[in-house]
């Protein structure tokens, strides 16, 4: 992929002087149109060897464009805070919202390339990381982002000549990254790894643009022109048609499913409940303070029928945890800030550090439940969400996070009973809304969606726990018992 970039590409001063002001004006006009319409975000990746000119180009783009709507992220070694989260956490947090441009120096490519070059990871692990990147970038483009990837290329003699020239002048010596000289020594290995990365991750939706960067004028004009044309083309069609790539989910011929198979008559008498509650809460408290738990975290999802008792179950769990070691995240309709990002962004930002817990009252599964049923997203969106959710949860578990998912199930009759009780009880009236009554009319539709969700997202690393919740005592004990068993198994 690098053959053409190794040729002697140049632009003379006269041509550059003529084209530069025209491109700068067009880039600014296009940037302001992008910011005004807020139709999609632009993610620019700067890849290639250290000392190949990436830093200069990022600075030039920042200078040429309006800095209010563009941000450059220099992603080097992760901080202590970032090490306590999954590897992709810091990149998710830095994603630009719709209408903005984000430039990534040292992106999600840096760590796999560096580790493979130094021989720190196996070929199998390296290939897996590249496939993970492909899925991540596919998700970004499916969510509407424009992803531009530039690979800065210099042959070894060009890189050596450039570094020596910069090093000779005290006014430019500071531009040489610390790792640039080491990169020069390992040029052959970096070239081999880099070419493989570019080939494997250059896809139809996120292709690599290999830039010959020996000549500054040629390099700048090429990148500016490519960026301009790509943004302008997307502005002409800000919402590309979405295609359903997965097969449709057929209705099963039998009425038997994972919900109808539950025995909702299960119960726990008050006396037994009182004893088991204390036992399991004490057990959970000790587990959450165990020294080995410092290498883990908990992400717990609570979903279920309206009035199924999610809040009560969460409260019994948090009673056993230290207040500073957990957060309960209430998920409602996304805010304007959240709508400007990929839908998983607002959940990634709440991923807990090691030794802590995050309990989600409603979660990312809204995409395949309420958003699917109410038509808040397209069929293409919720169909691809199954695999995106599995990838998200696998990223969490790879980092040592214990993912627990609870569906609290009640019968229609029990739900009606609880709805009426809420209407009669003063301090519970706020819990019942017109939307709850409206959702109740779609009971069968929700049953189908829940069964599809369980079938497609219950994995060995993040299984669903279906909780018989007609009896609140029984449901709460089952949730607490599952917490204890899952943490014990991880420790």
Note whether 361 and 484 are same-domain residues.
yes
209 and 326, same domain (yes or no)? no
pLDDT in tens, 29-61: 999 999 999 999 999 999 887 767 788 888 888
Residue 252 inside a domain? The answer is: no
- Is residue 255, in this structure, part of any structural domain at all? no
Instruction: Kindly state whether residues 288 and 165 are assigned to the same domain.
Output: no
- Answer for the pair 115, 140: CB distance below 8 angstroms, yes or no: no
Q: Is the pTM of this model over 0.75?
A: yes
Using the 3D structure, point to which of 220, 236, 252 is the last residue of a domain. 236
Question: Do 85 and 196 belong to one domain?
Answer: yes
Backbone torsion region of residue 114, taken as left when φ is above 0, otherwise alpha when ψ lies between -120 and 50, otherwise beta:
alpha
Query: Mean pLDDT of all residues in the chain?
Result: 90
244 pLDDT band, cuts 50/70/90, is low
Give 212's strand partners.
153
Q: Residue 106: which pLDDT band, with cuts at 50, 70 and 90? A: confident
Final residue in a domain of this structure, among 187, 220, 236:
236
CATH number for 462: 3.40.50.300
Is the CA virtual torsion 164, 167, 169, 174 positive or negative?
A: positive
Q: How far apart are CA 414 and CA 147, in angstroms?
A: 49
Q: Does the residue 352 lie in any domain? A: yes
**245 is a domain residue:** no
Residue 129 has pLDDT above 90, yes or no: yes
End-to-end CA distance of the chain: 46
Identify whether residues 292 and 344 lie together within a single domain. yes
Specify the number of domains making up the chain.
Answer: 2
| End-of-domain residue from the set 236, 260, 294 | 236
Same domain, 49 and 198: yes
Pair (115, 208) in one structural domain? yes
Determine the Cα–Cα distance for residues 368 and 345; give it in Å rounded to an integer.
16
- Quick check: 389 and 335 in contact, CB under 8 A? no
321 lies in the same domain as 190: no
Q: Are 31 and 69 in contact (CB under 8 A)?
A: yes
Q: Which two tokens stand for residue 240?
A: 């590309």
Q: What is the pLDDT of residue 212?
A: 85
Tell me if 220 is assigned to some domain: yes
Do 188 and 64 lie in one domain? The reply is: yes
The answer as to whether 244 is a domain residue is: no
Average pLDDT over every residue of 385-400: 96
Q: Are 91 and 36 found together in one domain?
A: yes
> At residue 241, does pLDDT exceed 90?
no
Give the percent of the chain with pLDDT over 70.
Answer: 90
10 Å Cβ neighbour count for 319?
12
**Are 182 and 130 contacting, i.e. CB atoms less than 8 angstroms apart?**
no
pLDDT at 17: 94
- Asked whether residue 105 is domain-assigned, the answer is yes
Give residue-wise pLDDT tens across range 322-344. 999 999 999 999 999 999 999 99
Position 454 pLDDT exceeds 90: yes
Could you count the other beta carbons within 10 Å of the beta carbon of residue 34? 25
- On whether residue 241 sits in a domain, the answer given is no
Q: What is the DSSP letter of 491?
A: -
What tens digit of pLDDT does each residue of 206-233 get? 999 998 888 889 989 999 999 999 999 9
State both tokens at 248: 């449709």
- Are 294 and 350 found together in one domain? yes
pLDDT in the model for residue 121:
92
Domain region containing 313:
270-490
One domain, residues 313 and 372: yes
Provide, rounded to the nearest whole percent, the portion of the chain with pLDDT above 90. 69
Identify the pLDDT of residue 289. Answer: 95
The SS3 of residue 358 is strand
Q: What average pLDDT score do residues 237-246 get?
A: 69
């Amino acid at each position: 992929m690098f053959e053409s970039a190794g040729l002697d590409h140049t632009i003379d001063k006269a041509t550059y002087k003529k084209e530069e002001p025209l491109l700068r004006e067009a880039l600014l006009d296009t940037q302001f149109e992008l910011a005004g319409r807020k139709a999609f975000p632009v993610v620019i990746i700067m890849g290639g060897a250290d000392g190949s000119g990436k830093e200069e180009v990022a600075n030039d783009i920042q200078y040429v464009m309006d800095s209010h709507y563009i941000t450059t992220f220099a992603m080097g070694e992760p901080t202590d805070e970032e090490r306590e989260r999954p590897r992709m956490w810091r990149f998710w947090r830095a994603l630009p919202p719709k209408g903005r441009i984000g430039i990534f120096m040292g992106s999600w490519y840096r760590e796999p390339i560096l580790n493979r070059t130094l021989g720190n990871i196996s070929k199998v692990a390296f290939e897996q990381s590249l496939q993970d990147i492909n899925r991540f970038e596919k998700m970004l483009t499916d969510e509407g982002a424009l992803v531009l990837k530039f690979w800065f290329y210099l042959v070894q003699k060009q890189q050596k000549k450039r570094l020596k020239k910069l090093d000779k002048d005290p006014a430019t010596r500071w531009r040489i990254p610390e790792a640039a000289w080491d990169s020069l020594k390992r040029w052959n290995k970096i070239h081999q790894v880099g070419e493989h990365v570019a080939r494997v991750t250059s896809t139809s939706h996120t292709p690599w643009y290999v830039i010959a960067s020996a000549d500054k004028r040629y390099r700048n004009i090429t990148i500016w022109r490519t960026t301009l044309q790509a943004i302008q083309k997307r502005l002409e069609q800000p919402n590309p048609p979405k295609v359903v790539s997965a097969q449709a989910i057929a209705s099963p011929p039998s009425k038997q499913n994972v919900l109808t198979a539950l025995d909702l008559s299960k119960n726990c008498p008050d006396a037994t409940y009182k004893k088991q509650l204390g036992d399991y809460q004490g057990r959970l408290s000790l587990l959450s303070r165990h020294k080995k738990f410092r290498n883990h975290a908990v992400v717990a999802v609570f979903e279920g029928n309206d009035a199924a008792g999610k809040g009560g179950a969460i409260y019994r769990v948090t009673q056993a945890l230290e207040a500073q070691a957990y957060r309960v995240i209430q998920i409602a309709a996304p805010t304007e800030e959240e709508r400007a990002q990929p839908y998983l962004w607002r959940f990634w930002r709440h991923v807990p550090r090691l030794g802590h817990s995050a309990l989600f009252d409603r979660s990312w599964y809204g995409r395949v439940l309420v958003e699917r049923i109410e038509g808040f997203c397209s069929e293409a969106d919720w169909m691809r969400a199954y695999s995106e959710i599995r990838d998200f949860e696998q990223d969490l578990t790879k980092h040592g996070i214990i993912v627990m998912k609870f569906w609290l199930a009640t019968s229609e009759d029990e739900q009606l009973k609880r709805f009426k009780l809420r209407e009669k009880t003063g301090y519970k009236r706020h819990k019942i809304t017109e939307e709850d009554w409206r959702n109740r009319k779609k009971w069968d539709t929700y049953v189908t969606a829940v069964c599809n969700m369980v079938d497609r997202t219950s994995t060995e690393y993040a299984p669903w726990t279906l909780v018989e919740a007609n009896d609140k005592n029984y449901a709460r004990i089952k949730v607490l018992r599952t917490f204890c068993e899952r943490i014990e198994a991880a420790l």
